[in-house]
Structure 1
């Protein structure tokens, strides 16, 4: 079975991560949490949606590993888990390198064809 056909835990983690980041509200929440921890109430303030809807977004982010929720007295502050973002950045960087190499090979091949044509 080829690597493309196999589903690994890493693939599933990346799927969950990119699915979570596909939504603008969740990206905004991640950006907000990159500044500091926040409660659900604080995270909900800028949005015209119910606390339940915000909690659902937080659940998606938590399942993807992007955030965690702690306990502090009677609140459950949310915090960003940067390691999850590092996995996405690593995947993006690896893909960028692959495509850069492919484009370089294509450019070399096209230059070779053009030289042959001009001879």
Structure 2
């Protein structure tokens, strides 16, 4: 009786072959395709974030320029805006400079948005 149980267990284990190499390769290919889709989707999200950050910075500097003009009667450069308390810091990522003459903004090369 014990001998019959052991023989049956060995036969069941022998019949259980597991996954074939083809099945494993198909799963790996499917996972690769899904990973590629996720990578391209995430890169689009960061591009949108950079554009929004650029637009927010332009709006902040433009508002600071208008506040400086209302308070002092003239536009100021980025360092003037920071010195007089209209900007927290003159070190901006997307706006290269602000004109003290007419208040126009110059963007850094490759900025994801435009001034104004």
The interval holding the TM-score normalised by the smaller chain is 0.3 to 0.5
* Structure with the larger helix share: 1
Report the TM-score, using the length of structure 1 for normalisation.
Answer: 0.36
Higher relative contact order (CA 8 A, sep 6+): 1
Structure with bigger gyration radius: 2
Report the TM-score, using the length of structure 2 for normalisation.
Answer: 0.36
